[in-house]
Amino acid sequence: MLRDTTSKVVLFGGIAIILLGAIMPNWIVNQLMFGFSRALAILGLLVLWRTGLVSFGHAFYFGLGAYTVAIVDIQLGVTDVFVRLFGGAIIAGIAGFIIGFIMRNYRDIFFAMLNTAISMVLYGIIVKTESLGSTDGFAISLPTIFGIAPETKYPLFIIITMIAMISALLINFYLKTTVGRLTTPIRDNEIRVEYLGFSVAHAIHLKYTISAVLAGGAGALMAMSLGQVDPDSMINWTVSGELVFITILSGPGNVIAPFIGSLVFEVLRTYAFELAPQAWQLIVGATFLTVIFFLPGGIWSLIAKLGRKKS
Amino acid sequence: MLIVDALDVDINGTPILRDIGLEIKTGEIIGLIGRNGAGKTTFLRSVMGLLPINSGKIDFDDHALHSLPGHRRAHLRIGYMPEDRRLVPEMTAEENILLPVWSTNIDGYEDRLNWIYKIIPECEKFRTMAANSLSGGQQKLVALGRALMVGHKLLLLDEPTEGIAPVLAQRMGEILASLKKEGVSIIIAESNDAHVANVIDRTYVIERGSIVSN
């Protein structure tokens, strides 16, 4: 499972980042936490994208994960980082599994927009419900780790990086298994997969559930990193759009791509905002167009090209 | 073993197959001969569950195929070779042949693979080559190998000798003749029976979606 180059890079790269985190300034640690949290959701979208499916509504699962953290914190007083994280991922996973029965029958624009519709239903419910925080959302208490309340954000950073590493390794492994390797054949020709004895509906259902679990985990980690949840930055359709944006920016080539893409996005957004607080979207949009025109395979295609030249 | 009765199939509202009746016994090789557009591919796809049928019955041994989802065919040991091969380009020839093994968990697939290599030695020759580096004819042989991997009981071959070099077409005829000795039931759809006439036990002629003679 850990023999290929990608796994080694994930493993050693992750450990190096954890160690470097101890001496890096706070703002970089924060950027990495946001980037890696969001990257988990991108990893799920990558699995779907390889099958030719794009969801414009995964903020539904992202938000579900984030709001699970808020609700278990406020209603039940749960502060443990792992209970919150797995709670968010499991709730999103169950929702994804149930909704997957519908989604697995749709493709293309119908798949994309049906997901948007479902996410906007949740958005609407939360915005209109006072007890769910309405448009203001909730502040979340600092997470504890096995009962210990850390004084800095560094321990949370270590956990986020480790979860990111484990998820990348598992997805890398999954993409090499039989069902995983069928992602591209399904995209190219569904009928072929059927007469070879695989059920396309089952394969897509599994991928959809995996992407929901990852997006839920991402939302939970993001909520804990930010210390707050609100519908506009967690569930609104713009969040789904952002996730798709980063997926295209990253490229589907490798499980490491989402992590690089997410970090590039965090940095890009931070600097764009600093440079033009009123028109930062203009800079992000221009970057998006540049990537689509010149790097249709995303940032990863650039890295893959460099790698090929070296060898 | 396979009995098709009063099969009607529409595609987007246009009737393509009308009242098709066909029967194949164990170990029999039948030809489904008809011009382009007669409905041969539609018929094979309907049996494979890749197209919804309007009415009629497709029974295979004790199973009502018409009420089973498409992917169950491979589990019932029915192999299908589509006209346009449809190999997974980035996988090797051998991986392509083994694809249905992963889905159906066939016991003792190694023996089956060696048997396929014995009948189609060409497949063994390019087992490690990527499917997209093979010629059209070579890909057809690999597609046949893949269909044989699950097709223990029944094989549906869509124009196996069409569009490939005459030498390979003749080779395909020889391979089918050797399969005849193995007792697999086969339906061969062809526009003419030039290369397969000597292996076919019976012929159904299909014209404009109906069987006109057998």
Strand-strand pairing, A138-139 and A228-229:
antiparallel
Q: Which residue ranges make up each domain of chain B? A: 2-213
Contact B102 A178 (CB under 8 A): yes
Separation in Å, CA of A97 to nearest CA in chain B: 21
- A232, two tokens: 């506009």
Nearest to B150 among A189, A197, A200 (CB): A197
Show Cβ contacts of residue A121 under 8 Å, excluding neighbours closer than 6 positions.
none
Instruction: With beta carbons less than 8 A apart as the criterion, state whether A245 and A265 touch.
Output: yes
Helix axes A26-50, A257-275, angle to 10 degrees: 130
ipTM summary value: 0.74
Measure the CA–CA gap between B208 and B200, rounded to whole angstroms. Answer: 22
> Which residues in chain A have Cβ-Cβ distances shorter than 8 Å to B88?
184-185, 188, 192
Strand-strand pairing, B2-11 and B154-158:
unpaired
Contact A194 B80 (CB under 8 A): no
pLDDT at residue A99, rounded to an integer: 95
Separation in Å, CA of A180 to nearest CA in chain B: 12
Separation in Å, CA of B91 to nearest CA in chain A: 10
Measure the CA–CA gap between A103 and A111, rounded to whole angstroms. Answer: 6
Q: Taking residues B3-13, what's their average pLDDT?
A: 85
Q: Count interface pairs A-B at CB distance under 8 A.
A: 48
Measure the CA–CA gap between A263 and A258, rounded to whole angstroms. Answer: 9
- A90, two tokens: 């499991």
> Which residues in chain B have Cβ-Cβ distances shorter than 8 Å to A197?
71, 73-75, 100, 103-104, 150
Separation in Å, CA of B29 to nearest CA in chain A: 21
Q: Taking the model in full, what pTM does it have?
A: 0.85
- B35, two tokens: 């011009």
Instruction: With beta carbons less than 8 A apart as the criterion, state whether A184 and B90 touch.
Output: yes
Measure the CA–CA gap between A98 and A91, rounded to whole angstroms. Answer: 11
- Which residue do the tokens 């986020």 mark? A160
Instruction: With beta carbons less than 8 A apart as the criterion, state whether A30 and A61 touch.
Output: no
Enter the DSSP assignment of B38. S
* Tens of pLDDT, residues B17-48: 888 888 898 888 899 888 888 888 888 888 88
Nearest to A223 by CA among A74, A16, A103: A74
Nearest to A68 by CA among A45, A42, A94, A46: A94
Measure the CA–CA gap between A49 and A55, rounded to whole angstroms. Answer: 8
Contact A197 B90 (CB under 8 A): no
Enter the DSSP assignment of A80. B
Domains: count for chain A: 1
Measure the CA–CA gap between B95 and B76, rounded to whole angstroms. Answer: 21
Strand-strand pairing, B63-64 and B29-33:
unpaired
Collapsing DSSP states into helix, strand and coil, what is residue B143?
Answer: helix
Measure the CA–CA gap between B195 and B17, rounded to whole angstroms. Answer: 26
Instruction: With beta carbons less than 8 A apart as the criterion, state whether B21 and B4 touch.
Output: yes
Nearest to A62 by CA among A247, A193, A195, A190: A247
pLDDT at residue A85, rounded to an integer: 94
Collapsing DSSP states into helix, strand and coil, what is residue B20?
Answer: strand
Residue A120: give the domain boundaries: 5-236
Nearest to B100 among A185, A189, A196 (CB): A196
In order of A105, A110, A133, B152, the CA distances from A102 in angstroms are: 6, 11, 29, 35
Q: Taking residues B123-130, what's their average pLDDT?
A: 86
Closest CA in chain A for residue B106: A197
Closest CA in chain B for residue A203: B103
Separation in Å, CA of B75 to nearest CA in chain A: 6
* Domain B2-213 superfamily per CATH: P-loop containing nucleotide triphosphate hydrolases (3.40.50.300)
* Tens of pLDDT, residues B60-118: 888 888 888 888 888 888 889 888 777 888 788 888 888 888 777 777 788 888 888 88
Closest CA in chain A for residue B156: A195
Mutate to test the interface with A, among B41, B68, B94, B103 (most CBs of A within 10 A): B103
Per-residue pLDDT of chain A (311 residues; tens, 9 = 90+): 567 888 988 889 989 998 898 888 888 898 899 999 999 999 999 999 988 899 999 999 999 999 999 999 988 988 888 999 999 999 999 999 999 999 998 888 999 999 999 999 999 999 998 888 888 888 898 888 888 888 888 899 999 999 999 999 999 998 887 777 777 777 777 777 788 888 888 889 999 999 999 999 999 999 999 999 999 989 999 999 999 999 999 988 889 999 999 999 988 988 888 888 888 889 888 988 998 888 888 888 888 888 776 65
Measure the CA–CA gap between B11 and B52, rounded to whole angstroms. Answer: 9
Contact A196 B70 (CB under 8 A): no
User: Which run of H or E residues covers position A139?
Assistant: strand A138-139
φ/ψ region of A134 (left if φ > 0, alpha if ψ in -120 to 50, else beta) reads: left
Measure the CA–CA gap between B173 and A261, rounded to whole angstroms. Answer: 54
pLDDT at residue A160, rounded to an integer: 94
User: From chain B, which residues contact A within 8 Å (Cβ)?
Assistant: 48-50, 69-71, 73-75, 80, 82, 86, 88, 90-91, 99-100, 102-104, 146, 150
Contact B74 A199 (CB under 8 A): no
Enter the DSSP assignment of B106. -
Mutate to test the interface with A, among B47, B71, B139 (most CBs of A within 10 A): B71
CA R_g for chain B: 16
